[in-house]
Amino acid sequence: MYKVIVVEDDRIIRRGICQSIQWEEHGFTIAGQAGDGEVALELIEKVKPQVVISDINMPFMNGLEMGKKIKEISPETRIIFLTGYEDFKYAHQALKLKAFDYLLKPVDSELMLSKVQEAAADWEDETKKEMRMKESLPYLQQKFFQQLIREGDQRMDVEKELAELGVELEGPSYAALLVHSPASFSEESNIKIVEITSSLFLQGNFIVINIDPHENAIILSLDDEDDNRKCQLAQQLFDSFTDHFPTITFGRTYPNLFELGKSLIESRLAMDMKHIMGTCRVFSFEDTVSSREQTENRLKELEIELESNIKLGIPEKVSSTLKQLNKTIVDQKSVPLTELKILTLKFSTMLFFEVEKWRKEVGESFNSSDFYKEIIKMETLSEMMEILNGLILQWCEEMYKKHDKNHFSHVDQAIKYMNEHYHDSTLTLKKVAEFIHVSTPYLSNLFKLEKGFNFGDYLVEIRMKKAMEELRNPDIKTYEVCEKVGYNNPQYFGICFKKFTGYTPAEYKKQFRKLLNN
């Protein structure tokens, strides 16, 4: 129902307007009546009607004065003025007020209903337009900032565009941050980012834009001396995430709004260097700036030196050169991710050859294709160096295995620890790696290399075999077995057990008793 308020100082006319039309049959309800503008304003502010039907010439506050006030307290309300012939001079002023229409008294009921219906329809159309604009505004803001990141501020009037998109920043200085998450931002994550930014900046001094499912941009308005608050915000945002840590970058601060695009592009350039600078950390564009010319030649020299040391079969020298290569790449901060992957594939192939050569001497071999797939998927320099260092270590182990029959590899140590601690529900790859003093990725890769299966599968196998032994005891309960083999959730244990054996724990006990009876 559309709400209508009737304002008329003549009680008989007012009653006639309310009763001469079957308002409810046409989708309207009379939400209130008033004899003057002052009383009407209180009603209008409270009810927020779609349509007000009002006489122009009234005591205390006339209709025109009331109309000005309505535009302030309920600007979306449509006003239809009623005027006598002698007050027709007011019609011109009513038009200036942008009243929806005016009608000359006495008013025909059908004409009045028709005008009220038109006013309600106009209100409906305008409301829908505003809702569509409100709903599309985040999308339009997103598209604008995506374009700004790609093209900078060369092709657009940044200040004008921001004003049209409802973005108002007080200044006098401006800067941009990018927050990139390995997982898609949830609604809770977006709310958290806004809340933390709000704790440091007033509402008019920032805007958070969701650039894509994995990335948010934060545009800041800063005081000249407040540049350190930008760093403070970046660190607080980073510290607020506990399940998956984001990578946060920020550009320099600029004194003009039309230069905002520069800071945003700098944030993007810094983010594009996360494969070298490292993920899950905070760093600025200035942290990534370096002198490429000073390090480019050194990079080529180290590549040649690394290749030579591998061919000479000196793993210790290879390890030393690789450290220097890693440092040089980090210092240069401009080697593209694709080029790093090519380098890693090249040297991993050479190292695989050395490892395989020594493995064959002791009657073993392995498939390196899984490693190549892992390298292709890698996103950071540290991951690639982890792979290469792991292969160098494996090469050393294989070289000296022939001379040391009592050799006890890292995988052997891990398996021994797992057999002794399988009942620990907190047992993880990371925990085992820490115990034997190696990195988690290295131990994971070593498992695949030496045993042909991963850590998780082997741990499940140990636990399931132990569970099978325990379940042969007819007096033991399933939940007791569950706890004994490192599971906190009996239901999840049951799922794992059935997947491994083909039976539920109860079915397995039953089958085992049958075998004993036979």
Q: Any alpha helices (H) in 362-439, and if so which ranges?
A: 369-377, 381-401, 410-421, 429-435
Residue span(s) of the chain under CATH 3.40.50.2300 come to 2-127
Within the chain, all domains assigned CATH 1.10.10.60 are found at: 416-517
CATH number of the domain at 416-517, please? 1.10.10.60
Report strand pairing: 247-250 vs 282-284.
parallel
Rounded CA-CA distance 38/31 in Å is: 16
Tell me how far apart the alpha carbons of residues 56 and 101 are, in angstroms, rounded to a whole number.
12
Q: What is the pLDDT of residues 246-267, one digit of tens each?
A: 899 998 888 877 777 778 888 8
So what's the pLDDT on residue 160?
66
The pair of three-digit structure tokens given for residue 443, joined into one six-digit string: 């131990």
Give the CATH class of 2-127: alpha beta
pLDDT, residue 315, reads: 82
Helices (H), 241-367: 260-271, 274-277, 285-288, 292-312, 315-332, 337-361
* Nearest one of 347, 451, 345, 351 to 394, comparing CA atoms: 351
Torsion of CA 421, 422, 423, 427, to 10 degrees: 80
What tokens appear for 89 in the block? 């001079």
Q: What is residue 438's predicted lDDT score, i.e. its pLDDT?
A: 76
Between the alpha carbon of residue 310 and those of residues 175, 196, 300, the distances in Å are 47, 51, 16
What integer pLDDT is reported at residue 280 of this predicted model?
86
Tell me if 74 sits within 8 A of 28, measured CB to CB.
no
The segments of the chain whose pLDDT lies below 70 read: 85-98, 131-142, 146, 149-167, 224-226, 289-296, 360-371, 400-409, 516-518
Q: What is the pLDDT of residues 158-192, one digit of tens each?
A: 666 666 666 677 778 888 899 998 888 777 888 88
Distance, first Cα to last Cα, the chain: 80
CATH class assigned to 152-285:
alpha beta
* Dmax (CA) of the chain: 118
The pLDDT value recorded for residue 89 is 60
